[in-house]
Structure 1
Amino acid sequence: MFQLLDVPKFAYPSLSELDPIQTANNILDRLHGKSFMSYSRPLGLMPKIVRGEITSADIPSMFTSNKEEWKNVNQREVAKSLYDSFGGKGAWYPVSSKEIQVFEGLWFRPSVKGVWFDGKAPFMVAINPRKRQPLVQEHLAFLARGMHELYGIDDPNDPVPLILDLSVEGKSDIRSARKTIIREWQMFSLHEFEEIMRAFLEALRVAGIDAIPRELKDVTDIFRRPRS
């Protein structure tokens, strides 16, 4: 299971210079790691957080079920950051979290978590809950183009990409919530986005997902195409 956020995560040596062979090796190394961290629970609280039904005082007792305490701590940190950023503010309209089967054996999870209306304008929201994966400008430009192409252009309200990065910065061990609103002129071009996605899909093919064709055209349409 992948999502757009995984492209800058695994891209090597960098997102804009993604090499399929080196990236495939990076994917295999990372996927063979242990102690997978899931943030689905705190992210799933967004509707209640925005409606003000959850306060910061509620959060510590909500995340205690993991046997590994570091996972509970990270989930609490993310939930607290979401509360600080959106708690009781505006209105939240969830987006389907249903995965898309792109090819046999390859599923992608939508990166847009919902549309947030702050009282003035609608924003489609993507959230990076990963503590050790800070997003730099090229990552934001890439993600915003993907959000726009795969979700925004089909929404008649024309929401603007808003990316909330909850990672640490520099040598700090403390998360900092950074909201970035990205206009279309700040995004990667569609051509740049498609070239990166084409290279990433090639990396996944090299890593063992054999159903991915060697040559792909209209990469964006693969992810945009309605599926049952």
Structure 2
Amino acid sequence: MSVDHASWSLPFDKTLATNMFRAESDRYNRKVGIVSTILLGGLAIAYICALVWSAKTGTSLDVSGNPYLYAVVLVGVAVLAVFVAVRPGSATEFRNRVAIRQLTKQYGGRGFVVETEEAGLRCRIGDDELSVPYAAITRSAIVDGVTWLTTADDRDSSVFYNFMGINWALRETGSLSIPVPNEVLAQHRSLVADVLAVGKDQRAGLKQGSAATMKLLSEFIGEEAEA
């Protein structure tokens, strides 16, 4: 299997920088919002019911401070969780605002050029070039109607994995997301599927220690490829 040769260029601006992070993080933020809504919403309902029960029976909840203030805070946090679940892009933009600002300042006004090659994607922003093997691309995402190829794997967007204590902000390795314009997909309809399929084959080859795969990726990235 191979990937059709294609190339495209997009202007690098704040919107593109923002959507790079959204392609990686929106799915995770939505999951966090949904799980938090269920947990916090249930807790808020239970606490309000306890307040009503205590008012009717004339008893007092064994809490320090104002119990009604706690109810307001719980409801407020639950509403915030709903917002994150419904608008994960806003949460992503807020959490990554500093990095978005830095990327826009560094690359704003330049062209983001992408070209498919046998072993991967060749990306250029101004004078900077990055070679991304297909093996590094693990999934696709859609942001505002545009398809993105991203190196964020399923574990990165796993709520269970992150709730175990391995938070996204503490990861040692970062992710990269690459936009694929709709006009490119109109000409190469299987491009995304082919990229993911070839990437899967490359990862399998690396895992098996395939000499052909190692040689291909080594030549592509210009250094020794490691399994």
Give the TM-score normalised by the residue count of structure 2.
0.28
Structure in which a larger fraction of residues adopt helix:
2
Give the TM-score normalised by the residue count of structure 1.
0.28
The higher radius of gyration belongs to 2
Higher relative contact order (CA 8 A, sep 6+): 2
